[in-house]
Every structure is written in C-alpha cells, then in structure tokens.
Amino acid sequence: MSLLAIKDLSLSIGDTQILHDIDLTMQAGEIVAITGESGSGKSMTALAIMGLLPHGSAPKGAITLDGIDILATSEPDLCKMRGNTMGMVFQEPMTALNPVQTIGDQVAETILIHEKTSKIEAHKRAAAMLERVGLKVSPTRYPHELSGGQRQRVVIAMAIALRPKLLIADEPTTALDVTTQARILDLLRDLVREFDMGLLLITHDLAVVADVADQIVVMQQGRVVETGQTHDLFANMRHPYTKALFEASSHEVQLPVRTASAQLVYAKHIVREYPMPRQTLLGPRPQFRALDDVSFHINHGERVGLVGESGCGKSTLTRAILGLEDVQGGEITLDGAPVFTGKRPNLAVRRKMQVVFQDPYSSFNPRHRVDRLITEPFHLLKTLPTGQARADAIAKALVDVGLSPADADKYIHEFSGGQRQRIAIARALIIEPELIIFDEAVSALDVSVRAQVLDLIADLCRKRPLAYLFISHDLSVVRTVTDRVLVMQAGKIVEQGETETVFTDPQHPYTQTLIAAAPKLPTLGMAV
C-alpha cells in the first residue's frame, strides 16, 4: 500500500476551480517534489492533504493517507492526525513561530496535545528533537533571538516531533540563504532516511527539485501536467510546460559586448557603522560595522553583480551609493561628484541613479496611475517636463519595457507581478540615469517571468550603454546578467573580478562555499 494516494482531486473555492483531477502516489521513505509557478495549485494540494483548506473550499475526489481518506475525516479526527500522522513546514520561518512562546514550549506542545505525557517528559523530548535537527541553542530561547535558518529548524522539529509518516514542506528553503538552504535540505534528506517518512516537497525551484527529489510532479494552473522519476523526467521531458519551466530556470541572456570606458561610480574605503544597544546602562554604545572598508568601482556601461547572504551589507551598500545615508569613512563618487553632501543626498548626482526594488506589489502607491508612478523621478530634474514632452517620455519609457503607452492611465493593481516589475524599470529609466541599482529585482518573480525581465534588461543594454549594479542572492541570475561580480561577506568585499572567472575559478573560500551550496540544474539530456 502506498503512503499517500491522491485520486482525482478537484477543488473549487466559490466559483473558481483551483485544482483539476490531481493524481499522485508516494511511498514511505520517498521524496516527492511538486513544482510549478505561482497559481499552479501546489500549496492548495498540500493544504488539502493536511485538511487545512480555507473556508468555502469544496474538494472532490480522494486523498488516502496511510489508509485513511482525509476528505471523509471529521475535523476532530483530523486534529489528531495533524502533527501526528502528518506534519507540515512552511515557507516563512520568520513568522511561522509564535513570538511570545519559547521554542521549547512550541515543540513540546506538539507532543503534549497528542500524547498523555508529563510536561517535563515532553520538554525533554522537545529538547532532544531540537538537538536532532541541529539546533545548538537552548530551548528556552524565543524565536526572535534566532536566525531564519535556526527558526526553520525549530519549525521542522515541531513538525517531526512525533515522527509523522508524511512530512509536507512548502517552499521550506525559499526564504533562506543558499548555504542555509543546502543545510536544511541535507537535514530533510537525513530525516527522511532516518524516520522512513515520506517527504512531499513543494518548491518553485527546479534546481532544488533536481537535487533532492526521487519523483517530480509538475503542476500548471491546477493540473498535473507531467510526473515521473526525477532522473527519467529530466532526461526525457514530454510536456511543453515542463520544458519551458526548465529553460526559464536556466535562462541565459546575451549581453552586448561592453567596450572599455571611464569610471562612473568610485567607492573607496567605505565604512558604515550602526550603533547597537548599550551593554551596560551608561557604557558606550557598541558599533556594528555593516560596511567594512569597502572599495569598488563601476565603469560607464558596466554591468556589475553583487552577491552575498542576508545581513552581509548589500542593502547598506545600496543606501550608501544612493546617498540616502552618510558613511563614517571613505567616499563614494559618481562621475567625480560625491553622492552625499552635507546632510543630504547630492541631487546633482542623485538624478543620475535610479533603483528597482524586489517586491513589485508593495513598491507602488496603489492610488496613483501608472503615469504618475513612473514620472516620480522627475522631481529630481531641474526642469520638469510638461505637456507633450512629459507624455512622450512616459510613452517611451513604457514602450522600452515592453508595455504600451495606453497603460499610463491604468492603476497598478491591473498588472501582474512581471508587468509591475517592468513598470518599476520604466520608472527607473524615465530620467535616463547613468546607473540603475537592481536590488533583488527579479527574486520575487516566477521563473518564466524572471526570464522575460532578464531578457528585457539585456535588451535595454543593447539599446544604450546602461550601467547597473545587480544585487541578488541568486548566483545563476547574476552569472548571466553581469560582466563583473563583487562577493560580499560580513560587510567586506571578499572577492571581485570578471563574472565568468569568479564563477569558474573562485579564489576566496567564501565564494567557493557559496557556489558549492547553490543547487544546480542538470544539463539537459545528460542524465539517462
């Protein structure tokens, strides 16, 4: 008997059909990955297995877990199964834990609600489980005292405390750094082996899938389009969507060849410190050095990447370059002029720089129309374009990013995530800056949309010499869209050089770790 068998699962919420005839079987000890883009129904499938569908859901078909039909089970019985027969790990470790309870309490709770055991015994087992998942801190800590990776270990400990037969992990590593991701994936793999449980891994990241899964289920718009053993599926993709997904994941763009040029941005010995809370009541405030003697340059028309893990100082560096904050040491200049003068950004320099942020949903004011949104940088100019000149500039910026001039009258909610990111790029382009900072600009996008936006960036480079700083945690993206790359660790640039050279022959141990930790897609047709 298989551990989990989903047969003809359909789901509608209100009038919307979310899932269509899903079929899936998995065995104990097997890792099955469901992959697909947002809206494909992967998470809903997981929630259906947990019996945690949102209000108003009408599932049809059968989900048989360990011989029990989930859809026919009453809520009280489902409560007994959750955490016991099946456990679940979610995407966002930062918010998945109750902030006002210690991690030990939260893990012990799983044991206490399912088993008649003493509190002391439950806490003892919780501590053992926390140790098993590789957490080296005391169970009396609160979630806010832990890093994202540590919190995800706590969530995993909670989910597996009773050794469930099935563990569902919904994008468990998406919010984590690559090196942390690699360690969490290793942990999950070990646990599957040790407990002989089934792991249903839900992820958009094909490289992760290829790395860990035994079986792959590809979903698109609520349907399973292709399924097979990982090896076979990668060797022989049948469905066009699977192929498209694979191609988009390993998408490479053709950047135009860059000609040698003069220096644009020049940063020398940048130091930025933030005061931390006092250790003693009246003692001096210790300083946290977010940027430690950072020096680099970007030439005119040069595409530079910046990689590093969260907290390494990427964002601080962005703010410093934009002149949003002063630095304690060193100087940043653009075209020879300092980016920060006195107590404020140097406007003469500021109008030569624009930035595109990560989240296309929250970086626009929803009450303004697109024309107003993308003309926001105009306030940096000495003379504001008006009338026809303004309309022309708007139309040109929109056309440049592959939208139509008519979109200027629409509101931001009328656009998809990818289109919004195009609008963000249009907003950056409209004053024809010398430098654009892409701050994780494609990280929140689905792979196919990401591929389109990367193509757009390459396309813009062909139209005119565009210099940019491309900040990303995704090494494969940085590799394809940059000429040169800076690797940052703990406020220092530990390595910099031509992108290809750094990726093929990393010199610094940290760069080597990063590159080794990044999951890789198999080369098509290689596996047979």
Q: Which residues bind another protein (CB under 8 A)?
A: 50, 52, 75-76, 79-84, 87-88, 90, 92, 95-101, 109-110, 113-114, 142, 144-145, 155, 158-159, 277-278, 281
Find the radius of gyration of the CA atoms of the chain. 25
CA-to-CA separations, 349 to 6, 154, 265, 520, in angstroms, rounded: 59, 47, 11, 40
The token pair that represents 387 in the structure block? 């009338």
Pick 5 or 78: Cβ nearer another protein:
78
Gap between the Cα atoms of 57 and 74, Å rounded: 15
Pick 87 or 433: Cβ nearer another protein:
87
Gap between the Cα atoms of 526 and 528, Å rounded: 6
DSSP 370: H
Gap between the Cα atoms of 70 and 51, Å rounded: 7
Pick 101 or 362: Cβ nearer another protein:
101
Gap between the Cα atoms of 108 and 92, Å rounded: 21
CA-to-CA separations, 13 to 8, 53, 57, 74, 331, in angstroms, rounded: 17, 10, 5, 20, 57
CA-to-CA separations, 78 to 90, 160, 332, in angstroms, rounded: 19, 17, 59
The DSSP code sequence of 437-466 is EEESTTTTS-HHHHHHHHHHHHHHHHHS--
Question: Residue 110: which of 74, 82, 77 has the closest Cα?
Answer: 82
Gap between the Cα atoms of 443 and 453, Å rounded: 11
Pick 170 or 309: Cβ nearer another protein:
170
- How many CA within 13 A on the CB side of residue 345? 16
